Amino acid sequence: MKTTKRAALLALAVLTAGTAAKADEIVIATTGGLMRNEMEQWFYLPFAEATGTEVIPFDIEVPDQWARAEGMVRTGQVEFDIVTATGPDLVGKADMLVDIPCDTLENVKEYALPGACQPKGIARTTGGMVLTYNTETYADNPPDSWADFWDVETYPGPRGLPDTGDRDWWLPTVALLADGVAKEDLYPLDLDRAYAKLEEIRPHIAVWWKTGNQVQQIMRDNEIAMTMAYSGRALKVIQDGSPFAMAWDGAIRDTGYLAVLKDSPNPEGAMNFINFFYGAAEGHPGFIQAVGYATSSTIGLSQLPEEEQKLYATYPANYELLVDPDFEWIGANRDELRERWTNWLLQ
Q: What is the nearest approach in angstroms of another protein to the Cβ of residue 344?
A: 8
CA-based torsion, 128, 323, 306, 273: positive or negative? negative
Pick between residue 198 and residue 251 the one whose CB is nearest to another protein: 198
Q: What is the nearest approach in angstroms of another protein to the Cβ of residue 6?
A: 31
Length of the chain equals 347
Whether 334 and 92 have beta carbons less than 8 Å apart is answered as yes
Pick between residue 114 and residue 203 the one whose CB is nearest to another protein: 203
Pick between residue 192 and residue 308 the one whose CB is nearest to another protein: 192
Contact between 289 and another protein by CB under 8 A: the answer reads no
Q: How far apart are CA 149 and CA 161, in angstroms?
A: 11
Pick between residue 183 and residue 334 the one whose CB is nearest to another protein: 334
Whether 282 and 299 have beta carbons less than 8 Å apart is answered as no
Q: Write the CB contacts of 244 (distance below 8 Å, at least 6 apart in sequence).
A: 132, 133, 134, 135, 219, 234, 237, 238
Q: How far apart are CA 163 and CA 167, in angstroms?
A: 6
Whether 147 and 333 have beta carbons less than 8 Å apart is answered as no
The torsion angles phi and psi of 234, rounded to 5 degrees, stand at: -65, -45
Q: How far apart are CA 282 and CA 151, in angstroms?
A: 45
Whether 29 and 36 have beta carbons less than 8 Å apart is answered as no
Binding pattern to another protein, positions 130-159, x when CB under 8 A?
Answer: ----------------------------x-
Pick between residue 208 and residue 319 the one whose CB is nearest to another protein: 208
Interacting residues with another protein between 242 and 271 (CB under 8 A): none
Report CA dihedral (231, 90, 211, 130) to the nearest 10 degrees: -20
Q: What is the nearest approach in angstroms of another protein to the Cβ of residue 159?
A: 11
Cross-strand bridge partners of residue 260: 82
Instruction: Kindly tell me which residue out of 100, 207, 215, 228 binds another protein, with binding defined by CB under 8 A.
Output: 207
Which window, 17-25, 108-116, 273-281, 335-343, contacts another protein (CB under 8 A)? 335-343
**Strand, helix or coil at 139?**
coil
Q: What is the nearest approach in angstroms of another protein to the Cβ of residue 209?
A: 10
Pick between residue 37 and residue 211 the one whose CB is nearest to another protein: 211
Contact between 169 and another protein by CB under 8 A: the answer reads no
Q: What is the nearest approach in angstroms of another protein to the Cβ of residue 79?
A: 17
Pick between residue 70 and residue 308 the one whose CB is nearest to another protein: 70
The torsion angles phi and psi of 11, rounded to 5 degrees, stand at: -60, -40
Q: How far apart are CA 322 and CA 130, in angstroms?
A: 9
Contact between 200 and another protein by CB under 8 A: the answer reads no
Q: What is the nearest approach in angstroms of another protein to the Cβ of residue 88?
A: 14
Which window, 1-9, 47-55, 188-196, 217-225, contacts another protein (CB under 8 A)? 217-225
Pick between residue 287 and residue 341 the one whose CB is nearest to another protein: 341
Helix, strand, coil percent values for the chain (each to nearest 5): 50, 20, 30
Which window, 10-18, 134-142, 176-184, 336-344, contacts another protein (CB under 8 A)? 336-344
CB atoms within 10 A of CB 270: 25
Contact between 95 and another protein by CB under 8 A: the answer reads no
**Strand, helix or coil at 227?**
strand
Q: What is the nearest approach in angstroms of another protein to the Cβ of residue 70?
A: 5
Binding pattern to another protein, positions 37-76, x when CB under 8 A?
Answer: --------------------------xx-xx--x------
| Residues found near another protein in the complex (CB under 8 A) | 63-64, 66-67, 70, 158, 163, 205-208, 221-223, 338, 342-343, 345-347
